[in-house]
Amino acid sequence: MKLYNTRSRTKEEFVPLQEDQLRLYACGPTVYNYFHIGNARAFLFFDVVRRYFEYIGYKVTYVQNITDIDDKIIEQATEENQDFQEVAQKYAAAFLEDCAHLGIGAPTHQPRATQVMPEIIALIKKLVDTNHAYEVDGDVYFATTSLPEYGQLSGKKIDEQKTGARVAENMSKRHPADFTLWKASKPNEPFWSSPWGDGRPGWHTECVVMSQNYLGESFDIHGGGIDLVFPHHENENAQAMALSGKPLARYWMHNGFLNIDGEKMSKSLKNFFTARDILDEYDAEAIRFFFLSKHYRSPIDFTRELIVESDKAVDNFYKALEAFELDSLNVKEIRCPECLRLEEDFRSCMDDDFNTARAIAILFDLTRLAKNSESSAENRLDAARMLLKLGKVLGFFQHPETRLSKQMPDLSKALIELMLSYRTQARAEKNWAKSDQIRDDLKALGIEIKDGPTGSTWDQRN
Ligand code: AMP
Ligand code: ZN
């Protein structure tokens, strides 16, 4: 398998530290708000990395952190007039909910920064003791000049940063590139006690501790969005290098941006849509398709048209599966030679730095085969089986039974439409009790009603 390693800026052959085992870490969210659909690209892609390694027989330990203490969380807490922990708790719960809705599997471990404070303090202490870090008035900085390899991951040279950083130069730092490991707390801010006084850790140290706790001092793959290469990942790696002489991870994978009108979707530019809102409008599998139909390193432009097209493509997959009994699709043994060849092709696409765009083209080939009336019934069934199997590797078809059972008999549909018309009538008469009752009763049967400007629609919940 070949992976593009940001560290070497080339595709490299992937060799795990331990045979058939993958130790994977991807940076998770800072929980001060609902995450946007751009963040979803990162979470979703590393979910696919994990799924693919499992499919080729690896035992995967996948760690994703939750940053639950940060300046932005403190600011948001002030805005919402709440404790920082309440804010972090609320958005962490929303994060988990939205990820589940997107079909992202739970990582093996999902630690939170506030749970590992003693380890964070111990790590910083080691860096201070070995002269890789220094304290100034309760703040602790990493001494970038103490590490000749600093800048290796991102390809930035310390002196280049010096000129760039001079404007915002912090006079207490020895070098402008030095970064904060521990930050003294201001009055009324949350704090933890440390040898340098009350304060809180820097983000870069949190990720080092949370990854190494579960994956050891050096692991296989570290992932995140391309914006994290510098300074976040450079600074994570610097701490690991200073401590052990080894890189934190051997392969660094970064997904490209989700753009909107050619610009990175981001909270600060306020050009974002939350994943939560998009999931209200579109099916989770359409969103998955939208991302995976492009290579993970390429930028993607967010447009509603593309998501609608993706939804149609996923529908097409389901139409191919629909012709067969679900039980017969789950059979493991597939014999059709053409389907087996397509599975090989699928693997070579994925082995080529996760070319999911080409892998998806193979799902289309299987869809065509499954529908091809000139093929034998056996081969068509095998094509549908292979489509289900490989689709699952990309995270599709996790609950095919619910989507396939949407193809309910016409009579049920007609009855639901009838109930909806009664509800529209009740609403016109301002009989809210009746309209709510119809909505709740249908909900109890798994039918969700959505009221929009042009009327009400219904959907069957997964
Ligand atoms: P954050 O909460 O900002 O640290 O972001 C969480 C993850 O989303 C990180 O891996 C980021 O690199 C990634 N990310 C942020 N914005 C985008 C974007 N517009 N497109 C793709 N990935 C993004
Ligand atoms: Zn991180």
**CA 259 to ligand 1: nearest atom:** 19
**CA–CA separation, 194 and 196 (whole Å):** 5
Letter for the amino acid at 164?
Answer: G
Residue from 31, 32, 110, 227 whose mutation best tests the ligand 1 pocket (most atoms within 8 A of CB): 227
Mean pLDDT of 292-317: 97
> CB–CB of 233/252 below 8 Å?
yes
CB-CB neighbours of 215 under 10 Å: 24
Model confidence pLDDT, tens digit, residues 108-119: 999 999 999 999
Three-state secondary structure call for residue 253: strand
Q: CA–CA separation, 56 vs 393, rounded Å?
A: 10
Task: Give the residue among 208, 290, 228 at the shortest CA–CA distance from 44.
Answer: 290
Query: Which atom of ligand 1 is closest in space to residue 265's alpha carbon?
Result: 19
Q: Write down the CATH superfamily of domain 2-260.
A: HUPs (3.40.50.620)
Domain locations along the chain: 2-260, 282-405, 410-460
What percentage of the chain reaches a pLDDT higher than 70?
A: 96
Helix (H), strand (E) at residue 123: helix 117-129
Q: Calculate what percentage of the chain has a pLDDT beyond 90.
A: 84
Residue 332: pLDDT over 90: no
Confidence of residue 415 (pLDDT cuts 50, 70, 90): confident
pLDDT at 20 > cutoff 50: yes
**Ligand 2: distance of its center to the CA of 272 in Å?**
21
What per-residue confidence (pLDDT) applies to 417?
A: 86
Would you call 361 exposed, middle or buried from its count of C-beta atoms within 10 A (0-12, 13-18, 19+)? middle
User: Is the pLDDT assigned to residue 166 strictly greater than 80?
Assistant: no
Residue 223 CA, closest ligand 1 atom number: 10
Residues lying with their CB under 5 A of ligand 2, a single-atom ion: 27, 207
- Integer Cα distance of 197 and 177 in angstroms: 23
Average pLDDT over residues 399-407: 77
Q: What is the pLDDT of residue 286?
A: 98
Strands 263-264 and 258-260: antiparallel
> CB within 6 Å of ligand 1 — which residues?
27, 29-30, 38-39, 41-42, 224-225, 227-228, 255, 257-258, 264-266
User: What atom of ligand 1 comes closest to residue 257's alpha carbon?
Assistant: 20
Q: How confident is the model at residue 42 (pLDDT cuts 50, 70, 90)?
A: very high
Q: Could you give the CA distance from residue 125 to residue 159 in angstroms, rounded to a whole number?
A: 27
Q: Residue 38 Cα, ligand 1 centroid: separation in angstroms?
A: 6
332 C-alpha vs ligand 1 centroid, how far in Å? 37
Whole-structure pTM over 0.75, yes or no? yes
On average, the pLDDT of the chain sits at: 94
Q: Which residue has the tokens 């990493």?
A: 142
* CA 166 / ligand 1 centre spacing (Å): 27
Question: Residue 398 corresponds to which amino acid?
Answer: Q
| CB contact set of 338 (below 8 Å; sequence gap of 6+) | 369, 379, 383
Q: State the distance from the centre of ligand 1 to the C-alpha of 149, rounded, in angstroms.
A: 26
Q: Which amino acid is at 147?
A: L
Cβ distance 165 to 177 under 8 Å? yes
Residue showing tokens 């690209």: 41
Rounded CA separation 173/179 (Å)? 8
pLDDT at 461: 72
Q: Which ligand 1 atom is at minimum distance from the Cα of 39?
A: 8
Residue 445: pLDDT band by 50, 70, 90 thresholds?
confident
**Beta strand ranges found along 175-328 (DSSP E):** 179-184, 199-201, 219-225, 249-255, 258-260, 263-264, 300-301
Q: Report the C-alpha gap between 209 and 206 in whole angstroms.
A: 5
Please state which CATH number belongs to domain 282-405: 1.20.120.640
The SS3 of residue 164 is helix
> pLDDT value at position 160?
63
